[in-house]
Amino acid sequence: MKTVASLDVELTVEERNLVRKVLFIAQKMSYFILIVFKLSVAYKNVIGARRASWRIISSIEQKEQNKGAEEKVTISKSYREKVTLALLFRVKKFSVCIEFLG
C-alpha cells in the first residue's frame, strides 16, 4: 500500500479496495506457503528417521536369513512390522493435516 501511495496517482475507491484485497490475499498466501513448508520439513524429519530404521532392520533381517538364524529373523521381522505400522500411522496423520489445509 505504501508503494501505491508513493506513486502520486489518485485512485478511485474501487481501485483502493482492489489493492487492499490483493494485498490481503498475498498475505494469506504467504502464510499458507509458510505452513506448508514447515509441514514438509516436519514430514521429512519424522518419516526419514523411520524409513532409515526400516531399511536397517530389513538389512539385518536379510543377513540373518542368509546365515540361517531363524530366531533372529523372527525378532527382526517383528520389529520391522512395528516400524512399518509407525510409518503408516505417521503418513496417515500428515495426510489428514494436508487435507485440512487443502
- Classify 68 in phi/psi space as left (phi over 0), alpha (psi -120 to 50) or beta: left
Residue showing cell 500500500: 1
Please tell me the least confidently modeled range out of 27-31, 82-86, 97-101.
97-101
Nearest-10 Cα torsion for 71, 60, 75, 66: -30
HSE-CB of 17 using CA atoms within 13 angstroms? 3
C-alpha separations of 66 from 22, 59, 80 in Å: 64, 11, 17
Q: Evaluate if residue 1 carries a pLDDT over 60.
A: no
Q: The pTM is what?
A: 0.56
pLDDT at 102: 59
